[in-house]
Structure 1
Amino acid sequence: MANPSKIKEGSVVYSLGELDGKKVEYDFAKVLIYLEAKGRMLFGKHFKIYEEDKSVLLRLCNYMVKDYDNCSKYGIDPDKGILLTGPVGCGKTSLMRLIRHIVPHRRPYELIPARNVAFGFNHIGFKIIEDYGNGRFYCFDDLGVEPMGRHFGKDCNVMGEIILSRYELFLSSKIPTHATTNLNAEELEKRYGKRVRSRMRQMFNLIAFDKNTKDKRT
């Protein structure tokens, strides 16, 4: 991509900031304009960015564009993945689907519902854990509400095992993993155990919506 500070959607060119030599100086106000427009393309004309969500979006955007100064300011490690938490319906999935579009010059992650992974285990067994422990980029959506896996009479906490595999990948290759969840730290530990929760602390930057964020699907 010749100039990552400009993104073309149809006949419209959106500016996200200024290209200064080899570095883009992103302008958050311009990024928001693009994200709202792209959101309408992806999710329909009803999509809007809410004022109360802008602080979450600011952190996500700084992470995506690897603005090291602002990441440091907000306590974000650009090498780790994102764990985006918040109540049901607050817009976690939509934002994770949306923000990857501001860096089209970078390798995108795939959004995979955690429940689909568990269902996949039920059909093909432990190969699913190998498949998601590979070098691809993933965001596991709705982590913690998926059912336990069961294949030929053997139960498995599928996402817990995949997190452990992705942790090894993170250590060896610095390949990040992202996830969204409605659960808090205690609930995640109860669901996956202390070992997985400990790995998650090392793998993820926690970015959280306010617990009182309204359900945007109502």
Structure 2
Amino acid sequence: MVNPSKITEGGIEYSIGRFNGFEMFYDFAKILIYLDAKGKLLFGKDFKIYEDDRDIIYKLSNYFIKDFEKCEKAEIDPEKGLLISGPVGCGKTSLMKLLQFIVPLQRPYSVIPCRNIVFGFNHIGFKVIEDYGNGSFFCFDDLGVEPIGRHYGQDCNVMGEILLSRYELFLKSKLKTHATTNLNAEELEERYGNRVRSRMREMFNLIAFDKNAKDKRK
């Protein structure tokens, strides 16, 4: 039987809680130790978990491990996706790449920069919207700062169209979509319009870093 409380990275076994054969009991302090180690493997030896980010990591961890009671207290719906907002360099993308590793038995998602999706549209057209509006799991990175798409002279708000397709999938099959953004709600509405913004409210839990969160890339 697979033991979800033990994860091996680089030949070292990490415990993130206790498994009694039926139920998993997670330990947040152990999760932080694991995330720090996995982060160093993924992003380099300078990666670290910042004290300022512990509250956000705690919320996100509860979401990923599906601790329904703690999610309810934090007003997070585990059936919706995540929209992580915050200033440039605060660590949104790193956390979304990292946190899915604490639940290795859950289906993983791909983190895709929105600007790459638009470049794909410019090259091959509307098939790109179909490709990302399908049943795969995605986290759209840097939502809202991508350029407008243009294919054979036809302009398209590519990510807006993809979000509408993903919304239909969410309604039909509860398929989750995740995203990161530097923009606030008003800026997102300006970028995508009221229709997309209202659907985003239904699709996403908003998890916001403090607007003064420091740039960890410096």
TM-score range, shorter chain: over 0.9
Q: Within 1, Cα distance between the matches of 2:64 and 2:108?
A: 10
Mapped pair 1:51 → 2:51: yes
Q: Which amino acid aligns with 1:45?
A: K
Q: Output aligned runs, 1:54-133, within 5 Å.
A: 54-133=54-133
Q: Within 1, Cα distance between the matches of 2:20 and 2:193?
A: 47
Q: Within 1, Cα distance between the matches of 2:214 and 2:30?
A: 25
Q: Within 2, Cα distance between the matches of 1:209 and 1:13?
A: 31
Q: Output aligned runs, 1:1-218, within 5 Å.
A: 2-218=2-218
Q: Which amino acid aligns with 1:118?
A: V
SS state of the match for residue 193, structure 1? helix
- When the two structures are superposed, what TM-score results if normalisation uses the length of structure 1? 0.99
Kindly state the Cα deviation for residue 213 of structure 1 after the two structures are TM-superposed: 0.4
SS state of the match for residue 180, structure 2? strand
SS state of the match for residue 146, structure 1? coil
Q: Within 2, Cα distance between the matches of 1:29 and 1:186?
A: 36
Q: Which amino acid aligns with 2:179?
A: A
Q: Which amino acid aligns with 1:151?
A: H
- When the two structures are superposed, what TM-score results if normalisation uses the length of structure 2? 0.99
Q: Within 1, Cα distance between the matches of 2:45 and 2:9?
A: 16
Q: Structure 2 regions of 5+ residues with no counterpart?
A: none
Kindly state the Cα deviation for residue 131 of structure 1 after the two structures are TM-superposed: 0.4
Which has the larger displacement, 17-26 or 190-199? 17-26
Kindly state the Cα deviation for residue 11 of structure 1 after the two structures are TM-superposed: 2.1
SS state of the match for residue 84, structure 1? strand
Dislocated runs of 4+, deviation >6 Å: none
Q: Structure 1 regions of 5+ residues with no counterpart?
A: none
CA deviation vs aligned residue, 1:86-127 (integer Å, no higher than 9, x gap): 000000010001001101111000000000011111011111
Q: Within 1, Cα distance between the matches of 2:70 and 2:61?
A: 10
Q: Within 1, Cα distance between the matches of 2:149 and 2:58?
A: 36
Q: Within 1, Cα distance between the matches of 2:109 and 2:201?
A: 20
The number of equivalent residue pairs is 218
Q: Within 1, Cα distance between the matches of 2:98 and 2:57?
A: 10
CA deviation vs aligned residue, 1:131-170 (integer Å, no higher than 9, x gap): 0011100000000000000001110000000000000000
Q: Which amino acid aligns with 2:78?
A: P
CA deviation vs aligned residue, 1:15-73 (integer Å, no higher than 9, x gap): 00011342211100000000000000001110000000010101111111111111111
Q: Within 2, Cα distance between the matches of 1:11 and 1:115?
A: 36
